[in-house]
Amino acid sequence: MMPRDSYEEGGPETGARADDVQRRRSLGVLRGRGIYLLPNLFTTAALFFGFYAIVQAMNNRFEISAIAVFVAMVLDGLDGRVARLTHTQSEFGVQYDSLSDMVSFGVAPALIMYEWALKDLGKLGWIAAFVYCAGAALRLARFNTNIEVIDKRYFQGLPSPMAAAMLAGLVWVFDDLGIDRELWLSIIAWVFTMYAGVTMVSNVPFYSFKEINLKKSVPFWVVAVFAAGLAVVSLKPSVVLFLMVFAYAVSGYVLWGLGRRAKPAA
């Protein structure tokens, strides 16, 4: 039996009225439930650094803009974990995170690459930047719709934060080494930008690291290796981080060659 306020009798407006009642109830629930502060603070901080990266790129401060993308990536990795640890997951947080990711890992890297090197290529330059931006949007939309049906061990396509880190790392390395931006560098930037944009929407599997349980105890050597890794990164952060991200960005094709696939979850 239908509820009284869904209107028991007829007319073409009955369904519309019922939908309106349901919509109002949903809005009431959302207002009463509120928004969790802690995880959304991390998301807002990630959004800030993505926007900051855009501003710095427009002022030709490319090294700072590249570092800002890396900071946004770290903050983006923390917001979801904080939400799970504090049991403050929400649908609002999921949608807000996706919008933040689009700015920080979609628009920001595309604009940075265009201002840094791609604009010297004319139409080919802005087309590559658009391909990357569109790839990031499609990647995020597909991730949100497939999150419950794809094997959680693997990402389907290159994750947008890693794609952004690869492009930002390229900018950071060349600016840190003081290499002049000439035509050959613009061509390299074009290849990397197109590669990232296309790989994000591909079906190539990339390991998600979601099986790693940070709550479990680990042998002493794991902590020692982590400390050694930090020491190596500190030697030349731009070069080491770029090589790490680049290795991950091509690892998916290695897994693909080995026959791994991002299959539907059982």
Best CA proximity match to 161, nearest among 204, 208, 126: 208
Inside any domain, residue 265:
no
* Site of tokens 């019922």: 18
DSSP H stretches of helix in the chain: 14-33, 37-58, 62-85, 91-102, 108-116, 123-146, 160-176, 183-200, 220-235, 237-257
Residues 31 and 67: beta-carbon distance below 8 Å? no
CATH code of 131's domain:
1.20.120.1760
Best CA proximity match to 102, nearest among 46, 166, 168: 46
Q: Please give the pLDDT value at position 44.
A: 95
Q: Please give the pLDDT value at position 27.
A: 44
Range of the structural domain that residue 161 is part of: 31-257
Residue 13, token pair as written in the block: 């407006």
Inside any domain, residue 62:
yes
Inside any domain, residue 6:
no
Best CA proximity match to 63, nearest among 140, 208, 170: 170
Residue 164, token pair as written in the block: 């952004």
Inside any domain, residue 48:
yes
Inside any domain, residue 7:
no
Domain count, the chain: 1
- Judge if pTM exceeds 0.95: no
The torsion angles phi and psi of 10, rounded to 5 degrees, stand at: -30, -160
Find all residues with CB under 8 Å of 45, minimum gap 6, and list them: 75
Q: How far apart are CA 135 and CA 128, in angstroms?
A: 10
Inside any domain, residue 15:
no
Inside any domain, residue 58:
yes
Q: Please give the pLDDT value at position 34.
A: 62
Inside any domain, residue 223:
yes
Q: How far apart are CA 140 and CA 200, in angstroms?
A: 9
Residues 53 and 72: beta-carbon distance below 8 Å? yes
Tens of each residue's pLDDT in the chain, 266 residues: 444 444 333 444 444 444 544 544 444 444 445 677 788 899 999 999 999 999 999 999 999 999 999 999 999 988 888 887 888 888 888 889 999 999 999 999 999 999 999 999 999 999 999 999 999 999 999 888 876 656 678 888 999 999 999 999 999 999 988 887 778 899 999 999 999 999 999 999 998 877 666 667 767 777 888 888 888 888 899 999 999 999 999 999 998 888 777 665 54
